[in-house]
């Protein structure tokens, strides 16, 4: 199983979301990260097309979109970006 690594931007985003996400949403994120590390070549991943020399991928796990890269030589998965779609609550 690859070792996970996290960019500083990813870790900052996780810290920012601590106050606005529910415990259930944080559980969804934890499970998604664990799944990506366990199976980095998930069939539902899709390429970001930012840099062909350093391919990165997106995986959606609502309400999150996770960007990551896989380095087969070092057997690591690097989590790069984290996007969150908050639920709009209407009264």
Q: What is the pLDDT of residues 51-82, one digit of tens each?
A: 777 889 999 998 999 999 998 888 899 999 99
CA atoms within 13 A on the CB side of 56: 13
In angstroms, the CA 48 to CA 25 distance is: 24
Alpha helices in 22-84 (DSSP H): 23-38
In angstroms, the CA 46 to CA 24 distance is: 25
In angstroms, the CA 80 to CA 10 distance is: 6
Q: Thinking of the domain 3-84, which architecture would CATH place it in? A: 2-Layer Sandwich (3.30)
pTM of the model: 0.87
pLDDT at 2 over 80: no
- Residue 90: its pLDDT value, please? 45
Ranges of each domain in the chain: 3-84
Q: Say how many residues make up the chain.
A: 91
């Amino acid at each position: 199983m690859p070792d996970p690594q996290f960019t500083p931007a990813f870790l900052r985003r996780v810290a920012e979301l601590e106050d606005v996400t529910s415990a259930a949403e944080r559980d969804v994120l934890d499970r998604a990260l664990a799944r990506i590390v366990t199976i980095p070549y998930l069939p539902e991943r899709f390429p970001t097309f930012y840099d062909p020399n350093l391919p990165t991928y997106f995986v959606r796990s609502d309400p999150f979109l996770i960007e990551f890269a896989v380095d087969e030589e070092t057997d690591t998965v690097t989590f790069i970006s984290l996007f969150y779609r908050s639920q709009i609550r209407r009264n």
